Amino acid sequence: MLSFVAQRIVKGVIVLLAIIVLNFFLIRLAPGDPAVVMAGEAGASDQVFVKQLREKFGLDRPLPEQLFIYVKGILSFDLGFSFRQQAPVSKLILERLPATLLLTMTAFAISLVLGILFGTLAARWAGTWLDTAITAMALVFYATPLFWIALMAILLFSVTLDWLPSFGYETIGARHTGFARVLDIGAHLIMPAMTIGLFFMATYTRMTRASMLEVKRLDFVKTARAKGLSDRVIQRRHVLRNALLPVVTLAGLHTGTLVGGAVLTETVFAWPGIGRLMYEALIQRDYNLLLGVFVVCSAMVLIFNLVTDLVYRMVDPRIQYSA
Amino acid sequence: MLKKLALSVTLACLTAAASAQEPKTGGVINAVIQPEPPGLMLALIQNGPTQMVSGNIFEGLLRYGPKLEPLPGLAESWTISEDAKVYTFKLKPGVTWHDGKPFTSADVLFSIEMLKQTHARARGNLGQLEKVEAPDDLTVVFTLKQPFGPFIGIFEVGSLPMVPKHLYEGTDFKTNPNNNTPVGTGPFMFKEWQKGSFIRLVKNPNYHVKGKPYLDEIYWQIIPDAAARAVAYETGKVDVLPGGSVENFDVPRLSKLANTCVTGAGWEFFSPLAWLWLNNRAGPTSNKKIRQAIMYAIDRNFAKDVIWNGLGKVATGPSASTIKFYTDDVPKYPYDPAKAKALLKEAGYNGEKVRLMPLPYGETWQRWGEAVKQNLMDAGMNIETIATDVPGSNQRIGDWDYDISFTYLYQYGDPALGVGRNYVSSQIMKGQQFNNVEGYSNPEIDKLFAEGANATPDSKRKEIYEKAQKILVEDVPVAWMLELQFPTITRCKVKNLITTAIGVNDGFRDAWVDK
């Protein structure tokens, strides 16, 4: 298994480098550059100013040279300097990463637990009113745009009912400590986490239901039933365990993308995470920051893919590792 | 409803002016800042949000009243020589930086030199400066190469912020660690910045104006979504929405909330004027008759009343009515689709495609783009909308790759600072967004703006600029739309927030909370 992990890591590094090179050029295909944006924001854009900025950022150098400098930096774990924020990219990302991880992991946990629960219930009572209700709910959350759910949640829970705070990570100026702070952050977390979680929950519900119904028809389930096992044991040990394989695959893919995928939610709820940082870097053409976020997100996807492969074996011992 | 809103804005302004209550000390103001500033070192970064927060930390030599009259700032008095070439400033004694070191004329000299390197607009404004000297610790003498009418108007905090020499001299300005914990002379000191969440400023206990500031703290809250900012105000989490914080269509709703005051004051220095760049170089818009047809085709009152909710004013020409030497004695272009059609026919327009680029600044601008497109199509023009983001739009404008493009620019109180740059031929330079982007070239206009900047006295300048406005409005190098108004929305308990021509950008030194 160790050699499997080692080989996957080597392959992962190669993929990461390829992603960096591709993104490096892709970002530069978009019109405008950081010097133009910053000159625009300054309300003055004489040629000296724009030229100064381009020289400062190294944008006046040939593209291959810029790429070489960037990759050289990456190899020594230096993600570069943010043009606009005037700070090292790694510092900016590390500042924001905890908030995003808290948000997305909470959302992920909610979606996975509820998704599998609802999916199992729907499959167990397929064709009944419960199945119809769960399927309809899943369809609604699957099809409704995130931002709309977010805005409606704010309208209901913040403006009308005044139960939950509408924005931010914690109450600014309250300076809570200890458990009071945990509760405060928790209150701020509910709406954004549910907003992201509901979509993924819907996906897992549908996937679990479909997969369980398919597994139910297989011969080994009949054998288990013939052996006289109780329905509960059959559902849990035989059907659910086998049906979870595609859900694990999907969840593994989602976990990686969740890191950078919370852009809309973080924006609507003013959650100080990495998704917002990425969006701001994009509209400001802050190349290094944007690339840095891409590198971190790609690394996350690769890491979680590896973890998914390892979890596979726990779920299904029949799977053998080969590089 | 619109009239009611406009009336309430006016009343709020009057109420604010008439407010003569005794200020109360203490309290906290939560204000919105958007987008998050990239940094707070005003001498290095001059974007809007940086100015808004840092106007509390840094100060300029002068401040400006609503009629753009100079007021004492770090300079307590000033004199101008008879030949209008020598400006002598007496600095206020006893002023200290936030770290306790005294503020002196050496700081002013250093700031001027630093800003020439780091502040593009200051570099332009100081172009006529021959030398600056400091005969003693509290005196600074500026000598100009020739008289420059707007010179007395370039000393507000955003245009010429004072920088502590003892912290910046001999350092690399861009990487100086003080950029992260800025030190100024202003009423508030930098305390904390949680990136993505808030910036916290606290009262400067040694501020040079006795008894001020009144507030203990200011929290600038960073909320990236316009609707979320409106909700933050609605739910009582913030007390101040500076102009432009929420979409314009939310203004009437928020204005009607209990305990809410609205004012349009505090934009007199900037005087934001919106227009359409019309590419004078090529395509249908290179034809003067077609440009005039565009002016007649667009219903600007509709834009003001419906899209901007009755706020602002229909522009009459290149100068906003709030800046010096404005005249409305110019040719008029009322909404007249029939006349537009006739002019298009006369110009031989035969349906060539014209690309229209709205400003990618949110919903209000998007809607305005749609309304103008509809107006122009009704007049018989073939319009294609180009969608871009901000960098894309900047790039296209800088490359002159457009036919019609929305913009709005600040005028900085004087035509020599904020108007001439858009019409004189020496300002036709690729790669820029604030100069003569349309490519209009008229030797007479070049001559008038050159004379206007250096003429004395003001009556002579007035004559020159009035003539220039008439010529420009006749030629329609760009299509002037509206003098924009970005109302500031506050809880009524927040008093005296806006006292000068740069509004919330001038810091909260006079503001207090009626508890």
Q: Are B32 and B228 in contact (CB under 8 A)?
A: no
B220 neighbourhood in chain A, CB within 8 Å: none
On chain A, the residues whose CB falls within 8 A of the CB of B222 are 270, 272
Mean pLDDT of chain A: 86
List the single residue in A86, A92, A276 with the smallest CB-CB distance to B224. Answer: A276
Residue of chain B with shortest Cα separation from A150? B228
What ipTM was predicted for this assembly? 0.80
Residue B218: enclosing H or E segment and its boundaries?
Answer: strand B217-222
pTM of the model: 0.86
Looking at domain A98-284+297-315, its CATH superfamily turns out to be MetI-like (1.10.3720.10)
For chains A and B, CB pairs below 8 A equal: 155
User: For chain B, which ranges sit under pLDDT 70?
Assistant: 1-20
Interchain proximity A267–B225, CB inside 8 Å: yes
The answer to whether the CB of B68 falls within 8 A of the CB of B269 is: yes
Shortest Cα distance from B456 to chain A (angstroms)? 27
Interchain contact, A85 vs B431, CB within 8 Å: no
Which of B228, B391, B434 is facing A268, going by the closest CB pair? B228
In this prediction, residue B1 carries a pLDDT of 43
- Give the distance from residue B106's alpha carbon to the nearest chain A alpha carbon, in angstroms: 26
Contacts of B431 in chain A (CB under 8 A): 36, 45, 47, 50
Low-confidence ranges of chain A (pLDDT < 50): 323
pLDDT of residue B448: 97
Q: Do A32 and B224 touch (CB under 8 A)?
A: no
* pLDDT score, position B240: 97
**Per-residue confidence (pLDDT) for residue B17, from 0 to 100:** 47
A268 to chain B: closest CA residue: B225
Q: Are B269 and B309 in contact (CB under 8 A)?
A: no
Are the beta carbons of B395 and A269 separated by less than 8 Å? no
Q: Are A272 and B194 an interchain contact pair (Cβ–Cβ within 8 Å)? A: yes
Residues of A in contact with B236 (CB under 8 A): none
* Angstrom distance (rounded) from CA A185 to CA A183: 6
CA distance A293 to A23: 11
d(CA B170, CA B167): 9
Q: Rounded CA gap, B25 and B136, in Å?
A: 36
Q: What is the pLDDT of residue A42?
A: 65
Residue (of B143, B151, B130) closest to B62 by Cα position: B151
The pLDDT score that the predictor gives to residue A260 is: 64
With beta carbons under 8 A apart, name residues in chain B contacting A84: 38
CA of B392, closest CA in chain A: separation in Å? 5
Tell me the residue length of chain B.
Answer: 515
Domain chopping of chain A, boundaries: 2-89, 98-284+297-315
B47 → closest Cβ in A41, A155, A285:
A41
Which of B221, B392, B434 is closest, CB to CB, to A43?
B434
CA distance B408 to B275: 6
Residues of B in contact with A45 (CB under 8 A): 120, 398, 431-435
Closest residue to B391, CB basis, from A173, A273, A285: A285
- The pLDDT value recorded for residue A306 is 83
Mutation for A interface: B118, B126, B225, most A CBs within 10 A:
B225
B257 touches chain A (CB under 8 A): no
CA-based nearest distance B293→chain A, Å: 30
